[in-house]
Structure formats: C-alpha cells, structure tokens
Amino acid sequence: MDPRPVGIFDSGVGGLSVLRALRQLAPHERLVYFADTAFFPYGPRPAAEVRKRAFAVVHRLLASDVKLVVVACNTASAAAIADLREAFPVPFVGMVPGLKPAVGSSPNRHVAILATEGTLDGELYSRVVDDFGRGTLIDNIPGPGLAELVEHGSCGTDAARAAVRRALAPAVSAGADTVVLGCTHYAFLAPDIRAEFPGVAIVDTGEAVARRALQVLAENGLEAPSHSAGELDLIVSGDRDRFRETMRRLGFASDLTGATP
C-alpha cells in the first residue's frame, strides 16, 4: 500500500478526461493534476519544446512525491514518453491514439484520426499505424482550433458543432465510419461529434489509460489504502482562476470542492 499521489499532466483541461476516469475507478487514490496552461497548446509546438516542458512538469510533480505519472496528453506522449521513462525512477503511463480498436470495429475499414499536428507527425503514431493500420484507409485530421474551444469551455456550443463539422465532414462523406479521438481535449467534444454525425463510432482511450495506470500501480505494489480519501491537488502554470472556471464549465465543479489550488 502506498498513500502517495498519482501525478497527471496535460497542457490544459484535456487530461481531466483521464482524471475523471481515474476518480471513478479508484476514488481512494490521491491525484495531483498539473495543467501547463502557460504553454498551451502543445500541439503546434516543436517536439523538442514539448519534451522540454514535459521534463519540467515531471520535475515539479516529483517534488509533490508522486508515485506514478500519467502523461494525459497525446502530443507530450509522442514527444517525450520514452525519454521520461529513461530519465526518472517512477512508472509512466502515456496516451496512444486508439487505432487498434478502431480498425477492429470499423465496418468500412475507414477510420478518421482526429489529433494534433504534434501527435500525427510523431514516431509513436507512425509505429501505431504500421502495426495496426494495414488494410484500412486512415484519414489524419489535425483539427485546428478544437483544443482551444475546449480550453475555453466552449463545448456544446454552435461554434463547437461548426468546428467538428468542418473538421470531420469530408472524411465522413468519403466513408469514414469511426473517429479516433487522438487528443485528450477532444474527448469533451464527443457529444458534439455525435450530434453532427450520429452514425459514426467514436473511440476514446481515456478510460483505457486510466485502467492501465491502475494496473501499473497494482503490479508495483503502489495502490493506495482502500480507506484513503481521494484528494485532488491542482497545479496550474498559467491563470489559475481561468482554469478553474473552465473546469466548472466542463462539469468538474464537484472536483473543485476541497481541491488544493
């Protein structure tokens, strides 16, 4: 048993989709969430810059004595996860676009990957495509501006619906029947995607990553005692008040109760 917290980080609110799954699956685990909003968005930044930020964030999380780090950002996972694992003594769990389950369930074998430029251009994504994408038509869609909509808490608005329509309509019209959400921010746009394209399946790996994190904790004897209170600490590199307001807009008001700012 290990009462130390689990660290989670993202460039902003996107990783909260993974945090929510963790809190539902393991409510007794303490969590420290680092929102690197001063450097949001990661997606358009060069990989070397994202890697540098990832190292800085992990150093800060280790100062909070975390026992495991969830890189709840596809772009940061693509740019830095291998180097992070090599450099630090704690286990890491990262994000990988869910191409494998998407290919396995796509009736048309036509899949749209909605992800940031940093993820789509990364070596990690290329390996995933090589391993699981054979025999499938894959549309890579960077979705410019989508993460920014989520970061401002604008999900469920006319602007959000229009943005996902612009991004996905060409691929869906061409026969894509499955959309992979390759950015944790995009998980909050899933209702908008379903509203615009009701016949399209959506693959989101947030819960799978949360389950993998719990599996790693169990394998390493790092689970928190079952009687522990699942507290949440927030670290925000940018505007804290703005971040907390976006959390409220996204339905995390209850998580803010008692959260350490």
The pLDDT, as a whole number, for residue 261 is 62
Answer whether residue 105 shows pLDDT above 70.
yes
**For residue 206, what pLDDT band results from cuts at 50, 70 and 90?**
very high
Write the single-letter amino acid at 215: Q
Answer yes or no: 155 catalytic: no
Give the span between the Cα atoms of 146 and 115, in whole angstroms: 10
Cα-only R_g, the chain: 18
CATH for 145: 3.40.50.1860
The pLDDT, as a whole number, for residue 258 is 57
Do 200 and 103 sit in the same domain of this protein? yes
Phi, psi of 73 (to 5 degrees): -150, 120
Task: Report pLDDT digits (tens) over 123-154.
Answer: 888 999 999 998 999 999 998 899 999 999 99
Q: Looking at 13, 73, 138, 146, which residue is catalytic?
A: 73
Write the single-letter amino acid at 11: S
Helical (H) or strand (E) element with 159 = helix 158-173
Q: For the chain, what is the domain count?
A: 2
Give the span between the Cα atoms of 185 and 11, in whole angstroms: 9
Do 158 and 119 sit in the same domain of this protein? yes
Q: Looking at 138, 183, 203, 209, which residue is catalytic?
A: 183
Do 105 and 154 sit in the same domain of this protein? yes
Query: What's the average model confidence in pLDDT over 26-45?
Result: 96
Domain that holds residue 185: 99-204
The pLDDT, as a whole number, for residue 230 is 87
